[in-house]
Amino acid sequence: MSDLRTIYVGMAGCGTVGCAVGDLLIRDHDALLARTGLDIRLVRAVVRDLGRSRAPHVPDELLTDDLSRLTGDDVDIVVEVIGGTSVAKGVVLAAIAAGKDVVTANKALLALHGPEIYAAARAAGVCVAFEASCAAGLPVIGAIQRGMVANRINAIEGILNGTCNYILSEMLEAGKCFADALADAQRLGYAEADPTLDIDGTDTAHKLAILATLAFGTYVEFAGIAVEGIERISLTDLLAGRELGLTCKLLAVGWMIDGVLLLRVRPVFLADTHPMAGVNGADNAVSLYGHAAGHVMLTGPGAGGASTASGIVSDVVEVALGNARRTFGQLPLFEPKMVKSATVVPPAAPDCGFYARFTVHDRPTALPKITAAFGEAGIKLVKVRSFDGDPPTATDGEHIVLLTNPASESKMPAVLKRIDGCVELTDAPICIPVLEPFERRS
Ligand code: HSE
């Protein structure tokens, strides 16, 4: 580094997150200096469109469109906030090749190209720090790598996408339709450039791949994670769930069960008493189950410029103090010998209860056929309700919602198929697991 106490930061990208990083590094410069003893200076931000001013967050004179200006001697740390995997990958590898430590919030890049990037950093003797890649400002990576390093982690569970959590909360609490809630999440700077990645669960799975690799010490391939998004969750399901004492969340789970790792992202219902049921808006939550520390849960804003910048600047400080290189170098997590794929999604996931909704033309005729189909599969129903939905419309049909006792998920497709064969459904049935917290399952 050019000076022990003065650290020069170059930034690639300057959108919502980059501007927030600028705010923290420039406006809070003196407070950071007082807190850390480091004189951290943002010296450059490389942007595609020089015509768009980023003031007051980042002064115009720091902007350039020349990527090569990140790899000169006047930059110590490169912060990558471009997002995506094409340009960003080249920028990160070029920075590493030039001997720069890298700080990135880019979960897609690390989930898809992590081993190549970590190997390049190791070979170059630099580090990659990525606290803000998962759950933005929640210090979850620090918790796994440092705070809970004494633990064998048995499970991770998380609400890891602020956009989805915001949409589900706003639909229920503010009565917004899905499209309006998504548009607000975009306006507020929570969503990805392509919000499909939020909605279809991909972004959550990127984060789960990173967290599970760290927590379980085994390389988790993104492609091995079973992913389902929130596209099919309707206000009717959210309202029916509320009547049943349940809240819908897009949940990432990583459970180590009998030495096999189950990794999955999907919408689930949580009982209102579940510790994550009250995590609303763009907040995230991460539960870590350590054999010594027990259940540790972090919660707070999980998307948006300020929260993500908080995680990024904490990494800049860790890198500048020399801690990040030590952590990155000492932990064997990304050494080739650790790069083995975990067995994901065991043949039999643990039994759990299920919420199901059937939308039918004629409830009195449909109801006995539906309950019989569950009965024949040996699945007990604990609640069965008629539900009018929102708004109740004749064309949509009438809803029957039910809750099952814990049952094997493997039985569900056959039950739904049987019902589809004997009941006139006006919409594809919905079936959502009802999850207990991990410690109550094991
Ligand atoms: N689009 C992401 C989210 C941003 O909504 O959580 C933070 O990673």
Q: pLDDT tens for residues 195-215?
A: 999 999 999 999 999 999 999
Dist CA 128 CA 103 (whole Å): 6
346-366: average pLDDT:
87
- Regarding predicted confidence, which is higher, 237 or 396? 237
Q: Examine the pLDDT at 30 and tell me if it is beyond 90.
A: yes
Number of H helices, E strands in the chain: 15, 16
Reported as a pLDDT band with limits 50, 70 and 90, residue 2 is very low
Distance from residue 316's CA to the centre of ligand 1 (Å): 20
135-140: average pLDDT:
98
Mutation pick for ligand 1 pocket among 107, 190, 197, 265 (CB with most ligand atoms within 8 Å): 190
Options 207, 249, 380, 383, the catalytic residue: 207
Distance from residue 165's CA to the centre of ligand 1 (Å): 10
Q: Examine the pLDDT at 181 and tell me if it is beyond 50.
A: yes
Dist CA 198 CA 286 (whole Å): 17
Q: What is the pLDDT of residues 255-273, one digit of tens each?
A: 988 788 899 999 999 999 9
Q: Do 89 and 115 touch, CB atoms closer than 8 A? A: no
pLDDT on residue 334: 58
Dist CA 80 CA 63 (whole Å): 14
Q: Examine the pLDDT at 340 and tell me if it is beyond 80.
A: no
Distance from residue 421's CA to the centre of ligand 1 (Å): 40
83-103: average pLDDT:
97
107 is catalytic: no
pLDDT on residue 347: 45
Reported as a pLDDT band with limits 50, 70 and 90, residue 337 is low
272-281: average pLDDT:
97
pLDDT on residue 173: 94
105-124: average pLDDT:
95
Share of the chain above pLDDT 70, in %: 93
Mean pLDDT check: name the lowest of 227-236, 383-392, 402-411: 383-392
Reported as a pLDDT band with limits 50, 70 and 90, residue 439 is confident
Dist CA 390 CA 180 (whole Å): 16
Are β-strands 294-301 and 283-290 bridged in parallel, bridged antiparallel, or unpaired? antiparallel
State the pTM of this model: 0.94
Task: State whether the beta carbon of 201 lies less than 6 angstroms from ligand 1.
Answer: no
Token pair in block for residue 269? 């219902």
Dist CA 362 CA 367 (whole Å): 9
Q: Examine the pLDDT at 341 and tell me if it is beyond 60.
A: no
Reported as a pLDDT band with limits 50, 70 and 90, residue 1 is very low
Task: Return the closest-CA partner of residue 10 out of 38, 47, 35.
Answer: 47
Cβ burial of 293 (10 Å; 0-12, 13-18, 19+) is: middle
Topology given in CATH for the domain delimited by 353-441: Alpha-Beta Plaits (3.30.70)
Q: Examine the pLDDT at 390 and tell me if it is beyond 80.
A: no
Q: Which CATH architecture fits 140-303?
A: 2-Layer Sandwich (3.30)
40-56: average pLDDT:
97
Dist CA 406 CA 43 (whole Å): 57
pLDDT on residue 352: 94
pLDDT on residue 54: 96
Task: State whether the beta carbon of 106 lies less than 6 angstroms from ligand 1.
Answer: no
pLDDT on residue 202: 98
CATH superfamily of 6-130: NAD(P)-binding Rossmann-like Domain (3.40.50.720)
Peptide bond into 267 cis (omega under 30): no
Task: Return the closest-CA partner of residue 411 out of 379, 365, 440.
Answer: 379
In the predicted model, what is the mean pLDDT of the chain? Answer: 92
Q: Examine the pLDDT at 346 and tell me if it is beyond 70.
A: no
In the chain, what are the domain boundaries? 6-130, 140-303, 353-441
The atom number, within ligand 1, closest to the CA of 308 reads 7
